Amino acid sequence: MLELCVCIGSSCHIKGSYNVIQTFQQLIEEEALHDKITFKSSFCQKQCQHPGVAVSVDGIIHQVSTEKAKEFFITQVITKV
């Protein structure tokens, strides 16, 4: 089970975490990945200084912009499930 976690702290919220979550949820639905991905949200992951929303994949933190959320999911998430 892959753990995918999107930061919903205030800084990431401003950077578009809601849109990133929507994109990920849609892709999990489309690809029927509910039983392969644990999808969570978290408070601040202490990455506010970086551009993009903090997203962790099995504990490894990445920076994801709303525009790149789909591409990120395809390259960094689907490939690991």
Query: Can you tell me which residue has the tokens 């990945």?
Result: 33
According to CB under 6 A, which one of 4, 24, 28, 47 is a site residue for ligand FES?
47
Cβ 55 to ligand FES shortest distance, Å: 9
When asked if residue 23 is in the footprint of ligand FES (CB under 6 A), the reply is no
Q: Give the torsion sign (CA, 41, 46, 48, 54).
A: negative
How many Cβ atoms are within 10 Å of 27's Cβ, its own excluded?
A: 17
Cβ 32 to ligand FES shortest distance, Å: 29
Judged by beta carbon, residue 9 or residue 16, the one nearer ligand FES is 9
